[in-house]
């Protein structure tokens, strides 16, 4: 059976990393070979670009190009080979993040990002994307005190409101790919949703 490419998205503080760990274990329990990875990053070169992206001030165009440079290397050296082997690839963030954060949050718009998406992904799209949706105020409360914020996490509530709207637009454009999860629910309720949806991935 071929593997699947599954991505996890949401504004910072929505709790997706915790659920990703659980999801990877649930798939392994069913016999899948799982590769858990993340963006920006996921390969040695892309992790170096991640360190720059999360710490250095730069123009929005540079930021978008570095995101896609990291993505290209990650796809070439990690994601592509894993999918070719039939592994299941679980990726913490992917191109929906670029549309949401750079396109909507920073106001770059979607035209150039869509161009890079076509070029770099060459038709590859996630088989499924779990979007952990949370009001920005609640996400900010959860982030507070968790750890020192990176460059993106320092943005204000308006920014995260735009990011959330950017995600909603992506869902509208490709509803079949997304499962939107209300991240205000408790962990058990969210796991029940994920567990139910794992069965449909096996079809």
What are the residues binding ligand TYD (CB under 6 A)?
12, 17, 38-40, 67, 92-93, 97-98, 101-102, 150, 152-153
Alpha carbons 101 and 117: distance in angstroms, whole number: 15
- For residue 7, the tally of other CB atoms under 10 A from its CB is 25
Cβ-based nearer residue to ligand TYD, 88 or 160: 160
CB-based contact 83:3 (threshold 8 Å)? yes
The SS3 assignment for 87 reads: coil
Cβ-based nearer residue to ligand TYD, 31 or 142: 142
Query: Looking up tokens 């990393």, which residue turns up?
Result: 17
Cβ-based nearer residue to ligand TYD, 43 or 97: 97
CB 62 to ligand TYD: min, Å: 13
CB 180 to ligand TYD: min, Å: 17
Alpha carbons 14 and 100: distance in angstroms, whole number: 14
Cβ-based nearer residue to ligand TYD, 142 or 191: 142
CB-based contact 25:198 (threshold 8 Å)? no
CB 40 to ligand TYD: min, Å: 5
């Amino acid at each position: 059976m071929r593997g699947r490419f599954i991505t996890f998205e949401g504004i910072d503080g929505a709790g997706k990393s915790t659920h990703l760990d659980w999801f990877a274990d649930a798939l392994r329990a069913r016999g899948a070979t799982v590769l858990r990875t993340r963006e920006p990053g996921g390969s040695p070169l892309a992790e170096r670009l991640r360190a720059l992206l999360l710490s250095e001030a730069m123009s929005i165009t540079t930021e978008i190009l570095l995101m896609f440079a990291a993505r290209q290397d990650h796809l070439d050296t990690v994601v592509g080979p894993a999918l070719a082997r039939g592994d299941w690839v679980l990726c913490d963030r992917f191109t929906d993040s670029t549309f949401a954060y750079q396109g909507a949050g920073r106001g770059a718009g979607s035209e150039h990002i869509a161009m890079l998406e076509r070029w770099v992904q060459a038709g590859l799209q996630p088989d499924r994307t779990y979007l952990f949706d949370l009001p920005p105020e609640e996400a900010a409360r959860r982030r507070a005190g968790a750890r020192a914020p990176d460059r993106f996490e320092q943005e204000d509530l308006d920014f995260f409101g735009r990011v959330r709207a950017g995600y909603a637009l992506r869902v509208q454009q490709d509803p079949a790919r997304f499962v939107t999860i209300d991240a205000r629910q408790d962990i058990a309720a969210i796991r029940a949703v994920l567990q139910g949806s794992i069965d449909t991935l096996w079809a």
